[in-house]
Amino acid sequence: MSSTQLDKLNTMVEKLLETATLDSNNLELNKENFDIIALLQSLMSNYKMQFQNKTFNINFQLESLIVNADIFHIENALNNILDNAVKYGGDLISIELKTKKTNFEVLISDNGNSLTHENKHQIFDKFYRVPKGNTHDVKGFGIGLYYTKTIIDKHNGSITLELNKNLTTFKITLLNGS
């Protein structure tokens, strides 16, 4: 077996173990106070440097918002959505943060048309990948959005997908609080 095949197999096993942990009730969140806006700015800065052929827009109502959550898992969940926007979306990616009385919303949008109303309701299912005929030109296991939804659910939040003309938007809602 070649080194590349072993790496692929190792990645697949890691993803399956990660999914098994999510499916069990054994996943414990290590909640701590952190600034969600600083995290979002850091993520966007990294994506801007890495994908200079894309345009990234940021729109926040505040300069700082302290939340109490598991930063490791929240960062991974946000990265999953941003990764998908870069891989499958258009050339414009925007992130917006809106605050409400008891919660806040993170909206991540792209101008791609890779999702349809037909696959909208399956997009968060484990191992689901949007059908692309017999081949997928982007590697993946269909676990990223399942992981993201599970993490958001474990934080007593919600995630939805909104499809408008030429805009795909993932909206994450989490409770305020420090």
Q: Write down all domains in the chain, each with its CATH number in brackets.
A: 30-175 (3.30.565.10)
**55 φ, ψ to 5°?**
-105, 130
More confident residue, 10 or 72: 72
Long-range CB contacts for residues 24-30, cutoff 8 Å, separation at least 24: 27/154, 29/69, 29/70, 29/73, 29/154, 29/155, 30/70, 30/72
pLDDT tier at 79 (50, 70, 90 boundaries)?
very high
- Position 27 scores a pLDDT of 78
Average of per-residue pLDDT across 45-71: 92
Q: Cα 62 vs. chain centroid, distance in angstroms? A: 22
Tell whether the model's pLDDT for residue 11 goes beyond 90. Answer: no
What letter represents residue 177's amino acid?
Answer: G
Rg (CA), the chain: 17
- pLDDT tens for residues 27-40? 788 999 999 999 99
What pTM value is reported for the model? 0.83
